């Protein structure tokens, strides 16, 4: 028996919470809590550890191998964010500050050398004012992996450490800032969960943007594989135009991006984009599931780093098959999935008038 007005009020709140929710809102909300926020938190955490590692390594409290591990963890967290680059990270020129790719002219090496020449005693404040080319993981990778740099040599270590430390701090601050923009009141997470708001008029707009971001990242994965394969350069392989060629993490990055794209599709608990396809669309659902599985398995089956695979016919054959698989996956999303959900991929952005 209900006695107090307070109990009544609470009950009605509880009932409201149980009332059927707009399926689009349910998906946007579930992806925010189950996929996006955890990924942004992990990224911020990995960058905190990167900053610590850089300082420890430069104070001789950590080995180069440990420093490389911290870098790989940050780079992998970043690669996993590609299909989730919605909101703050897609704005304000922030993504360029994390990674400079493609780098066709080896600007990273040239600008790092130029910067250290002009500022031998570089401070974090100097780096904040410098070009995005030297602020991010690509420059960090150059420092800890490039064969022309030997951090075991004390003189070289002293030369490069100010930059190593400054990049770690820049990335930690950037990631913390982005996470704060997600978690703030009326921040990105709130805008993906309650409608209307200043960004989205309704849940359908949020879901559409989540899908567009994911589809554009799938296209990006094709570019990351297609560029070193020479698909934009008459079939001539371009191993040094691969993402993360110095750390030989190109394929690991692809796998991290693919896994995140699949999480947008599936959701943490089968509550991702696929939940919006009714049972009459089971056939499409199964084809998309199968396409993910095919791409994932082809990628997992590659036994050698990208640079090696590019070096012989058999390797290039495997990579081309992976590319075709990624392409099929991308097209399924861009056309059939988008059409089924009534989502426009873009219109005026490609107009050219």
Partner 1 sequence: MKRRTFLALSGATLAAGAVAAGAFAGWTLGGNGVQPLLLSARNDATGKHYAVGYRLDGSQVFATRVGERCHDVVAHPSLPLALFVGRRPSTRSYLLDTRDGRLLQTLESPAQRHFYGHAVFHKDGQWLYATENDTSDPGRGVLGVYRLQGGQLQRTGELSSHGLGPHQLLWLPDGETLVVANGGIRTEAESRVEMNLDSMDSSLVLLDRDGGLLSQERLPERMNSVRHLAVASDGTIVSAQQYMGDPADPVPLLAIKRPGQAFQHFALGEAQRQAMKQYSASVAIHSELRLLALTAPRGNRVFIWDLDSAALRLDAPLADCAGIGTVAEGFVVSTGVSRCRLFDCRSGAITAQPLQLPAGLWDNHLRLV
Q: CA 154 from chain center: how many Å?
A: 35
CB of 228 to partner 1, least distance (A): 20
Per-residue 3-state assignment (H helix, E strand, C coil) for the chain: CCCCHHHHHHHHHHHHHHCCCCHHHHHHHHHHHHHHHHHHHHHHHHHHHHHHHHHHHHCCCCCHHHHHHHHHHHHHHHHHHHHHCCHHHHCCCHHHHHCCCCCCCCHHHHHHHHHHHHCCCCCHHHHHHCCHHHCCHHHHHHHHHCCCCCCCCHHHHHHHHHHHHHHHHHHHHHHHHHHHHHHCCCCHHHHCCCCCCCCCCCHHHHHHHHHHHHHHHHHHHHHHHHHHHCCCCCCCCCHHHCCCCCCCCHHHHHHHHHHHHHHHHHCCCCCCHHHHCCHHHHHHHHHHHHHHHHHHHHHHCCCCCHHHHCCCHHHHHHHHHHHHHHHHHHHHHHHHHHHHHCCCCCCHHHCCC
Hey, how many other C-beta atoms are within 10 angstroms of the C-beta on 236? 9
CB of 177 to partner 1, least distance (A): 14
- Select 23 or 38, whichever has its Cβ closest to partner 1: 23
CB of 26 to partner 1, least distance (A): 16
Chain positions 208 to 227 lying near partner 1, rule: CB under 8 A, are 208-209, 212
Residues in CB range of 257: below 8 A, 6 or more apart: 79, 80, 82, 83, 217, 220, 221, 224
CB of 277 to partner 1, least distance (A): 17
Cα within 13 Å of Cα(172), Cβ side: 18
- Select 160 or 200, whichever has its Cβ closest to partner 1: 200
Of 134-142, 151-159, 247-255, 337-345, which segment contacts partner 1 by CB under 8 A? 337-345
CB of 128 to partner 1, least distance (A): 14
Binding letters toward partner 1, positions 75-114, x by CB under 8 A: ------------x--xxxx---------------------
Of 179-187, 240-248, 254-262, 339-347, which segment contacts partner 1 by CB under 8 A? 339-347
- Select 212 or 224, whichever has its Cβ closest to partner 1: 212
Binding residues with partner 1: total (CB under 8 A):
29
CB of 350 to partner 1, least distance (A): 9
CB of 258 to partner 1, least distance (A): 24
- Residue 292 to residue 296: CA distance in whole angstroms: 6
Residue 120 engages partner 1 in binding (rule: CB under 8 A): no
CB of 215 to partner 1, least distance (A): 12
Residue 347 engages partner 1 in binding (rule: CB under 8 A): yes
Of 4-12, 58-66, 255-263, 344-352, which segment contacts partner 1 by CB under 8 A? 344-352
CB of 298 to partner 1, least distance (A): 31
Chain positions 171 to 210 lying near partner 1, rule: CB under 8 A, are 195-196, 198-202, 204-205, 208-209
Binding letters toward partner 1, positions 280-319, x by CB under 8 A: ----------------------------------------
- Select 67 or 215, whichever has its Cβ closest to partner 1: 215
* Chain residues in the site for partner 1 (CB under 8 A): 87, 90-93, 195-196, 198-202, 204-205, 208-209, 212, 339, 342-349, 351-353
């Amino acid at each position: 028996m209900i006695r107090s007005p307070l109990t009544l009020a609470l009950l009605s709140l509880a009932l409201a919470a149980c009332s059927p929710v707009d399926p689009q809102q349910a998906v946007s909300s579930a992806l925010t809590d189950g996929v996006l926020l955890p990924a942004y938190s992990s990224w911020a955490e990995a960058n905190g550890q990167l900053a610590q590692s850089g300082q420890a390594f430069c104070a001789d409290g950590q080995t180069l191998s440990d420093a490389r591990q911290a870098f790989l963890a940050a780079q992998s967290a970043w690669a996993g964010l590609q299909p989730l680059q919605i909101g703050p990270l897609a704005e304000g020129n922030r993504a360029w500050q994390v990674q400079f790719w493609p780098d066709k002219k080896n600007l990273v090496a040239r600008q790092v050398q130029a910067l250290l020449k002009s500022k031998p005693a570089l401070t974090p404040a100097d780096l904040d004012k410098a070009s995005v080319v030297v602020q991010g993981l690509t420059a960090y990778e150059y420092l800890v992996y490039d064969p022309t740099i030997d951090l075991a040599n004390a003189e070289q270590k002293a030369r490069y450490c100010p930059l190593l430390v400054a990049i770690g701090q820049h990335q930690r601050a950037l990631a913390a800032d982005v996470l704060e923009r997600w978690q703030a009141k009326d921040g990105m997470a709130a805008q993906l969960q309650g409608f209307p708001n200043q960004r989205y008029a309704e849940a359908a707009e949020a879901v559409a943007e989540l899908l567009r971001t994911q589809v554009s990242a799938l296209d990006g994965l094709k570019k990351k594989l297609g560029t070193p394969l020479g698909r934009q350069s008459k079939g001539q392989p371009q191993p040094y135009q691969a993402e993360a060629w110095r750390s030989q993490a190109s394929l690991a990055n692809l796998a991290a991006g693919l896994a995140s794209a699949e999480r947008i599709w599936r959701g943490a608990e089968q509550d991702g984009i696929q939940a919006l396809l009714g049972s009459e669309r089971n056939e499409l659902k199964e084809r998309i599931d199968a396409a993910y599985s095919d791409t994932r398995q082809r990628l997992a089956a590659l036994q050698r780093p990208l640079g090696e695979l590019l070096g012989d016919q058999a390797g290039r054959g495997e990579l081309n098959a992976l590319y075709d698989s990624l392409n099929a996956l991308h097209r399924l999303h861009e056309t059939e999935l988008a059409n089924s959900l009534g989502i426009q991929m873009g219109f005026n952005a490609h107009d050219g008038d």
